[in-house]
């Protein structure tokens, strides 16, 4: 899954649980092409609101960490939402 696809998928899947301000922030990042920032913010909000991610979302995030070599930057954030 491309980074852009992952950002959109997570926004579609979890954005309805966010505040309007948080949702806007996600879509501003996506609209600007800052997909990693969008994903990071999504993970932060999910952790803060204790939103558990689906197994499918976690698998996609794990694959993204591997393919884009993002473990150092985002591994801890993914672990926080892994439950």
Q: What is the pLDDT of residues 3-43, one digit of tens each?
A: 999 999 999 999 999 999 999 999 999 999 999 999 999 99
pLDDT in tens, 43-76: 999 999 999 999 999 999 989 888 877 777 788 8
pLDDT value at residue 65: 85
pTM of the model: 0.90
Euclidean distance between CA atoms 41 and 21, whole angstroms: 12
Euclidean distance between CA atoms 70 and 20, whole angstroms: 28
pLDDT value at residue 72: 75
């Amino acid at each position: 899954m491309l980074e852009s696809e992952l950002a959109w998928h997570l926004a579609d899947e979890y954005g309805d649980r966010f505040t309007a301000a948080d949702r806007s922030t996600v879509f501003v990042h996506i609209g600007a092409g800052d997909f990693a920032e969008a994903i990071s913010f999504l993970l932060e909000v999910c952790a803060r609101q204790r939103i558990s991610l689906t197994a499918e979302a976690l698998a996609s995030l794990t694959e993204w960490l591997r393919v884009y070599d993002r473990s150092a930057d985002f591994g801890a954030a993914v672990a926080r939402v892994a439950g």
